Amino acid sequence: MMWKILQYGNFIATDFYKKPQDIQKELEPYSQLWKPYNPRKHGGREGLSITSLDGGFSGVPDLDSTREYEEKNNTILSEMMFNKKTQAANIMETYMKPFEGYIGRSHFIKMDKGGHFPPHRDQMLPEVDTMRLFIPIKKCNPPDTWFMLEREPLYFDHGRAYFINTCIEHTLFSCYPSLFAVFNIKINDETIKTLLANMQRKV
């Protein structure tokens, strides 16, 4: 079903928006709850769960690599299993309410200077059951942070939600501390309809 979205592009701006300054302010009470993101790797990254397996902030396994966690613990996880909202989910209601009932593993990520994600693909077509929404909150544009989708740098309006096709190669590198959120949303007719109805129209 992903093709229904991809016919509009690999990078789609939406009308879902909240002032990034408000998000940062509302995150302040959670400053002690950030955990290492993918703790087996030293990528200069921390995460705060928006959803998790139990609605808590332990970060285990919701801020881990699901593939690596599965291998180590002989278990099977899916993005949609992480569907219990944490208290921090209230901050992101603007983005979550339109997709209510279809939101899986989601979190805030902050990257230190030098923080990075090496080139990778999150999923492989056609075995895709979730789509990624990316919300840039602080210093997510070049030259502060480089989000490369294949060989193209992405430019964002902070606070706006974007669909990004993470089935193609992408990488991030932060030259200054940055902050963003990532949502996994189940792909079905209803969520596709919601996304496409809220695409930001080009004038």
Taking the C-alpha atoms of residue 63 and residue 189, their distance in angstroms, rounded to an integer, is 28
Residue located via tokens 């501390």: 177
Residue 19 lies in a domain: yes
Cα→Cα distances 179→25, 56, 68, Å: 13, 21, 24
CB 38 within 8 A of CB 45: yes
Six-digit token string for 98: 């339109």
Its sign, for the CA torsion 31, 99, 111, 12, is negative
Residue 202 lies in a domain: no
* CATH number reported for the structural domain that contains residue 159 in this entry: 2.60.120.330
Is pTM beyond 0.85? Reply is yes
* Strand-strand pairing, 178-186 and 130-138: antiparallel
Tell me if residue 46 falls in helix, strand or coil.
strand
What's the structural domain count of the chain? 1
pLDDT of the chain, 203 residues: tens digit per residue: 898 999 999 999 999 999 999 999 999 999 999 999 988 777 789 999 999 999 999 999 999 877 777 788 888 888 999 999 999 999 999 999 999 999 999 999 999 999 999 888 887 777 789 999 999 999 999 999 999 999 999 999 999 999 999 999 999 999 999 999 999 999 999 999 999 999 986 54
Instruction: Give the domain range for residue 158.
Output: 3-27+35-197
Nearest Cα residue to 185 out of 51, 76, 19: 51
